Amino acid sequence: MTYRVCFVCTGNICRSPMAESVFRARIAEAGLDGLVEVSSAGTGGWHEGDGADPRTVAVLEANGYESGHTARQFQASWFSHLDLVIALDSGHLKALRRLAPAPADTEKVRLLRSYDPAADADPDVPDPYYGQMDGFEECLEMVEAASPGLLAAVRQQLEGRAA
Q: What are the residue numbers of the active site?
A: 9, 15, 127
Partners of 42 in the β-ladder: 9, 73
CA distance 80 to 102: 10
Is residue 144 within 8 Å of residue 60, measured between CB atoms?
no
Q: What is the DSSP string of 105-157?
A: HHTTEEEGGGG-TT--S-------TTS-HHHHHHHHHHHHHHHHHHHHHHHHH
Partners of 87 in the β-ladder: 8, 111
3-class DSSP state for residue 12? coil
Q: How far is CA 14 from CA 36, 44, 71, 154, in A?
A: 22, 13, 10, 23
Nearest-10 crossing angle of helices 133-162, 15-29? 50
